Amino acid sequence: MNETLQDTVTRICSSFSGDRSRLMDVVQAVHDECGHVPRPAMEMIAQELGISRVEVESLISFYSFYTDQPQGQVVIRLCNDIVDRMSGMDRVAQAFSAELGIGFGQTTPDGTISLMYTPCIGMSDQGPAALINDVVVTNLSSDSAREIVQELKLHLDPTRLIKHLGDGNNAHELIQAMVNNNIRLKGDMLFSVINRGEALNKALNISPMEVIRAVKTARLRGRGGAGFPAGMKWEYTRAAKGDKKYVMCNADEGEPGTFKDRVLLTELPDRVFAGMTIAGYAIGAEEGILYLRQEYAYLKEFLENVLQKRRGDGLLGQNVMGKEGFNFNIRIQMGAGAYVCGEETALISSCEGLRGDPKNRPPFPAQKGYLGYPTIVNNVETLCCVTKILELGPASFNEQGTERSAGTKLLSISGDCKLPGIYEVPLGIELSEVLKMAGAEDAIAVQVGGASGQMVAPEDFNRHICFDDLSTGGSIMVFGAQRNILEIVHTFMDFFVEESCGYCTPCRVGNQLLRQRLELIMEGKGEPADLENLEELCQTVKTCSRCGLGQTSPNPILSTLKHFRPVYEAMVQEEKDGFQPAFDLRESLAVSERIIGRQSVHVHS
Amino acid sequence: MNQPVTFFIDGQVIQGQPGQTILEAAQDARVYIPRLCYREGLSNFGACRVCTVLVNDKPVAACTTPITEGMMIENDTERVQNYRKDLIDMLFVEGNHFCMFCEKSGNCELQALAYRFRIPAPKYLFQFPQREIDASHPDIFIDRNRCILCGRCVRASKELDGKNVFQFVGRGTEKRIAVNADQLSDTDAVVTDQAMDACPVGAILKKHIGYTIPVGKRVYDHQPIGADIEDSAVASDT
Amino acid sequence: MAKPKIATAALSGCFGCHMSLLDIDERILQLFELVDFDKSPIDDIKEFTGPVDVGIIEGGCCNEENVENLRKFRQYCKVLVSIGDCATTGGVPSLRNMVPLEECLREAYFDGPSVYNPSGEMPSDEALPLLLDKVYPCHEIVKIDYHLPGCPPPADTLWEALVALLSDKPVELPYSLIKYD
C-alpha cells in the first residue's frame, strides 16, 4: 500500500487507456484517491495523457467539486438555493459553522472536515439539504446539523449518518439514501406500469425511420425546457454524415428548484436507458453517455447496476434483443459541479474532458457533437417519454396536452406550499390549478422555470404551463406573502454570477454588474433612472450572450421589473442635488475612521 | 467554382464565398464589423461578442456564424452599436485599464474601439479587481489587469506556435489567463512566438521596447480602428 | 448681458489638466473675454460667489474633502464637466484601489523605505482629510454632464468643448480629440 503518487496517476490514466478525452474521469479518480489533485499530480496526468499541465489545471479550476488544495476527508456542502434558504438554511449554516468551529470555505484545523456552500442539489422538496461527500442529508435543522457534526467527528463516515431510508428505490441496497421521492400526482404516462423491454422490442421491430416518425407523430418536444421537437433533432442527427454517432442523456439537473430527473433516475432508470437505446437505434449510434451531475453521485452505483443487468439481459451490448447488427452500450459520465454543463454543448465539452464551456453554434451537435461526431442530447424525461411512446403508441402520448405542447410534464414544486414534490400533469394546465394541488393558493409570486425562468404574479396565475406560454423544465418555486421579491432575485443573480463560465463578455461581466446594481437598489441607493438602466443592461446581456445561461440570466430581474415594479419603485427615489445615490460618504470613510482613530469632521458635523 | 452567396448588410447587397463567416465576407466587401477576440489566422472564438449582429432580427456573433443565402444582417444601426458600446464599457470596468501609462496605448484595440464609438467614459461602475502580474520572463511581461480574456494568446500559442503556453483557468469572474508552469519564465515561451503579438490590449507585452512609437504616429492616433477595412471616404476623420 | 461664469477645481490629480487648459495659449485672452472665472485656482477665488454656468473638474475623489468640493460644484454649476483620466476613471491615484487602504497607509507612514516617523503614529490631524475606501471617478460621486478624457486632454479638446458649451452647442468632439492618454 505504498503506491507513490506517480504510480497512482499512471494506474488511473492507463485504466482509461491514456485517453485525453477521459480527463474528467481521470481527475475524478485522482481526486477520489487523494482528496484533491495536488499540483505534481497535474504534471503527471498531463504527461500520461500527452497534454500540457495547464490544460489539466484549466479543467480542475472550472468545476466546483474539484480542487488542487487539500481539503477535509469529509466535505459538507450545504445547499444555498432560494428554497433551502426559505426553509431555514441560515440556522443550519450557523449550527454547522459553530459546531465545527470554522466558517464556510474553511477546513477544520485537524484537516478532517471542510464546509462550503453549493447551489441547488435537487432536494428543494426536502430542504434544507446538504451533500456530505456523496451522501445526501435532507430536512436539516440546527439540531440535526449539530448531531451530524458530532457524529462525523467520531467516525468521519458520512454513510453512517443515514438513520432512515427514503421511499421506493431510495431504500435500494445500492442507493441507501434518506431522500424521499415525494411523488404527489402520478399521471398515466410517466408513472404507469413499466413493461421492461417492450418499448425497445417494438422499436427494433420497425425501421429506424419509423421510430423517428413515431416520435414526430407524438409531437414530443424536449423536456429540459427549451422544447425543441425531439423527432426533428433525431432526424437531423440520423441524416448527418459521420462514422459514428452518439446519444447523450442530460442528467445534469442543475436548474434551481428542479428535481424530477432525480426521481426518474431513482424509479424509472430502465425507461431512461431504454429511451437512450431506442434513440441509438433511430439515429444509428452505438454508444450512449448518461451525463450525471455529481450531486446525484449517490445514484451512480445503482444506475451502473441497472446497466449491468440490461447488458446481461441482452438489452444492451452486441445485437441488442437479438437485432442483428444493432450494437449499443451506455456509459455514465460524472459531472463535477457546473450548472452550465446542463447546456447541451457545454455538456458535450465536459464529456470530452474539457472545461464545461459551451461551443459555438453552428455547427450544431446534430452535425458535429461529441468528439466531432453527430450527437443528440436529450433530457432524462424526454427519453422516458420516448420509451412510453414506443410502448403505447404516439396517440396515447398526445391525447393529453395541447396541440403544440403534447403529453404530460413532470413538475417539481417547492417553496411555500403544503405539498412539495413531483406532479405529472398534462401540458397546458393552468398555473392556478397546479398551485391548488400543491396547497399553494396563498402564493404572492411563483418562479416558473427555475432561476432562468420568470416570476409570475397572481394576476397571471391563469396562464398555462406549456412551451408557448409558461415554459419550464419542471421547476415551480412558490413564494408566500412573507417573502421579499428582491432578495429572491438577488439569490438568483448570485447563482448566475457564480455559475457563468466566463467565456463571453456579457454574461461574465454583465451579470456581475446586474447584481451590483440590484444590491444598490436594495440598499436604497438607487433612483428611478436606475430601473431603466437595469432593464437596458438586462437586454444587452440577454441579446449578446453566447449561450442559454446569459441569454436567460436576466429573466428574474426583467420579469420582476415588469410584474412587480412597485417593489422596485418603493426602493428608489429621485436624487435632487445631482449626487449619485450609489455613493455613501459615511460608508466610504468607515475604514479610514477605524485606522486613523477619529471621526470625519465632514460627515459628523 | 463555388456559387457565391448573396446576403445583405444594412441593405447593402454583398456576395461572399460559401463557408465564410459573416465577419470575413463583410470584410472582403469592405464592411467593418467591430471585433476583439477575432484575429485573422486563428480559429474563431466568439467570446468578446463585440461583433454581435442581428440576422433576421436574431443576435449572432458575426465571427462564428457562416453566411447563408439571403441573410438580412443589421450591423451599423443604433441598436446594434449600443450593444457593442455596452460590451466595450463592460471590458473597461471589469479590468484595470490605465491607458495613461500603458505601453499599448495608441495601438490597443480595446481603446481604439472606445475611440471609434466616441466613448468619453464608461457608464458602469469600475470594479477595480485585484489581478496578478507575471514579470518573470526576461523578454515578456504579463499584466492581467489589462486582460480581456479574448483567448487570442491561447489560440496563437496552440495553433501558430505549436505550443501550449497559455490557457484559461478558473470560471466566471475568477477566470484568468494562466501559463503552462508556475510562471512564464518556466515555460517554453520565447519572445518570437506569434502568441506574443496576438494580444489586442497591453496584457502581453514585450520588454525592452516600450513607448518606441511617438504619440501621433501610433496605429489609432488618427485613423479609427477598422478604417483600413472600410472605404477610405468613410475612414477619414468625421 | 453678463458674461457666463466658469469655475474649475483640481481634486485628486496632478494639476496637469489645468496646465493643459493654460496650453490654449493666446486663446486664453479670448476665453477671458468670453467668460468670467468664479471659484478656480486660476484666479485663486476660494469660494463660489454665486451660481456658475460651467464647472470644470480635474481629478477624481480620494478623500472627504474632494467629495465635499465636488458636491459643492454640482450644487453651484449648471453644467459640470469632468476633464482628464483621473476625473473620468480615477486615473493614476486609483492604482491604490488594488491595495487595501490600511496597507497603503502603513507603507506611507511606517514601512516605506524613505519614511522617517519617530513617533510611530499615524497622522490624525483634522487638517488632513480622511481618505475614502478607494479613489472614485467623479461621475460615481455626482452626476457629470460631459467627460473629456485624456492625460491630460489636449488643449484643443478643452477649447473645442468650452466653445461649444458656451455657445449652447452640443459637445461633439472629432475622432482625433478623444484620447485616453
In this complex, do C141 and A580 lie within 8 Å of one another by their Cβ atoms? Answer: yes
Q: Do B100 and C146 touch (CB under 8 A)?
A: no
Instruction: With cut-offs at 50, 70 and 90, classify the pLDDT of residue B236.
Output: very low
- Whether residue B90 lies within 8 A of chain A, CB to CB, comes out as yes
Structural domain of C63: 5-100+132-177
Closest-CA residue in chain B for C99?
Answer: B130
Chain B residues in contact with C85 by the CB 8 A cut-off are 99-100
- Whether residue C113 lies inside any domain: the answer is no
Q: Do C139 and A602 touch (CB under 8 A)?
A: no
B127–chain A Cβ distance below 8 A for any pair: yes
Q: For residue B234, what pLDDT is reported?
A: 47
Q: Is the pLDDT of residue B1 over 70?
A: no
What chains are in contact with B, requiring at least 3 Cβ pairs below 8 Å? Answer: A, C
Contact A595 C122 (CB under 8 A): yes
Separation CA A108–CA A584 (nearest Å): 38
A117 strand-pairing partners: A78
Among A568, A564, A555, which Cα is nearest to A493's?
A555
Q: Which cell goes with A557?
A: 430581474
**Residue B238: per-residue pLDDT:** 40
d(CA C132, CA C93) in angstroms, rounded, equals: 12
Q: Does the distance separating the beta carbons of A505 and B47 come in below 8 Å?
A: yes
pLDDT tens digits, B51-68? 999 999 999 999 999 999
Asked if B120 reaches chain C (Cβ–Cβ under 8 Å), the answer is: yes
Element (H, E) at A91: helix A89-100
**Cβ–Cβ below 8 Å for C82 and B102:** no
C-alpha distance from A109 to closest chain B C-alpha (Å): 26
* Grid cell locating C9: 477645481
Is residue C151 assigned to a domain?
yes
Contact yes or no for C181 and B125 at CB 8 A: no
CATH code, C28 = 3.40.50.700
Average pLDDT (C3-26) is 95
- Give how far A536 is from chain C: nearest CA, Å: 19
What domains does chain B contain, in order, with CATH numbers?
A: 5-75 (3.10.20.740), 86-206 (3.30.70.20)
| Mean pLDDT over each residue of chain B, to the nearest integer | 95
A364 touching B, CB under 8 A? no
Q: Considering CB atoms only, which of C147, C175, C181 is closest to B237?
A: C175
Per-residue pLDDT tens over the stretch A569-592: 999 999 889 999 999 999 999 999
Question: Does C168 fall in a domain?
Answer: yes
C72 touches chain A (CB under 8 A): no
Let me know if residue C33 belongs to a domain.
Answer: yes
B111 contacts chain C (CB < 8 A): yes
Q: Is the pLDDT at C1 greater than 70, yes or no? A: no
Closest CA to B95 of A162, A509, A577: A509
- Does residue B233 register a pLDDT over 50? no
Q: Which residue has the cell 455613501?
A: A584
pLDDT, residue A604, reads: 60
Distance CA C20, CA A289 (A): 66
Q: Average pLDDT of B71-78?
A: 97
Residue A313 CA neighbour count, 13 Å, CB half: 13
Inter-chain contact A502–B171, Cβ cutoff 8 Å? yes
Nearest 5 degrees, angle CA A580-CA A583-CA A587? Answer: 155
For residue B177, give the 3-state DSSP assignment: strand
Q: How far apart are CA A249 and CA A239, in angstroms?
A: 20
Separation of alpha carbons B118 and B43, rounded Å? 30
Helical (H) or strand (E) element with A290: strand A287-292
Q: Is the pLDDT of residue B235 over 50?
A: no
Does residue B115 sit at the C interface (CB-CB below 8 Å)?
Answer: yes
Q: Is C152 on the interface with B (CB under 8 A)?
A: no
Question: What confidence score (pLDDT) does residue B103 get?
Answer: 96
Chain B residue numbers with beta carbons less than 8 Å from the beta carbon of A540 are 82-83, 86-87
Asked if residue A522 lies in contact with residue B66, where contact means CB atoms within 8 angstroms, the answer is no
Tell me the three cell numbers of residue A286.
Answer: 452505438
**Minimal C-alpha gap between A582 and chain C (Å):** 8
Chain C, window 115-134: residues with a beta carbon less than 8 angstroms from a chain B beta carbon? 134
A604 to chain C, closest Cα gap in Å:
12
- Residue B2 pLDDT: 75
**Per-residue b or e along A383-407, where b marks 16 or more CB atoms closer than 10 Å to that residue's CB:** bbbbbbbbbbebebbbebbbeebbb
Q: Which of residues 483-522 of A touch B (CB under 8 A)?
A: 497-506, 508-510, 512-513, 516
- Residue C107 is assigned to a structural domain of this protein: no
C162 Cβ contact partners less than 8 Å away, ≥ 6 residues apart: C6, C31, C54
Output the nine-digit C-alpha cell for A181: 421521492
CA distance B210 to chain C (A): 15
- Predicted TM-score (pTM) of the model is 0.96
Contact C133 A591 (CB under 8 A): yes
- Beta bridge partners, A183, equal A422
Residue A546 and residue B61: Cβ atoms within 8 Å? yes
CA atoms of B219 and B224, how far apart (whole Å): 9
* Residue contact C180–B222, C-beta within 8 A: no
Task: Give how far B222 is from chain C: nearest CA, Å.
Answer: 6
Cβ-based contacts of C134 with chain A (< 8 Å): 588
Nine-digit cell at B229? 477595412
Residue C119 included in any domain: no
Whether C176 and chain B come into contact, CB under 8 Å, resolves to: yes
- How many residues comprise chain A? 605
Ranges of residues in chain A whose predicted pLDDT is under 70? 1-2, 604-605
DSSP A299: G
A52 touches chain B (CB under 8 A): yes
Inter-chain Cβ pairs, chain B and chain C, closer than 8 A: 75
pLDDT band, very low/low/confident/very high, at B237 (cuts 50, 70, 90): very low
pLDDT of B130 over the 60 cut: yes
Nearest chain C residue to B238, by CA: C174
Cα A381 from Cα A392, distance rounded (Å): 16
**How many structural domains is chain C composed of?**
1
Helix (H) or strand (E) holding A332: strand A329-334
C140 assigned to some structural domain: yes
Element housing C77 (H / E)? strand C77-83
Residue A431 has which C-alpha cell? 398555473
Mean pLDDT of B27-47: 97
CB < 8 Å to A543, chain B: 52, 59, 83
Rounded to whole angstroms, the Cα distance separating B65 from A362 reads 7
Give the domains, in start order, of chain A with CATH numbers.
Answer: 5-60 (no CATH), 75-163 (3.40.30.10), 184-398 (3.40.50.11540), 408-479 (3.10.20.600), 485-569 (1.20.1440.230)
- Residue A114 is predicted with a pLDDT of 98
| Statement: residue B46 has pLDDT above 50 | yes
Asked if B173's CB is within 8 angstroms of A497's CB, the reply is yes
CB contact under 8 A, C134 and A588: yes
Residue C123: inside a domain: no
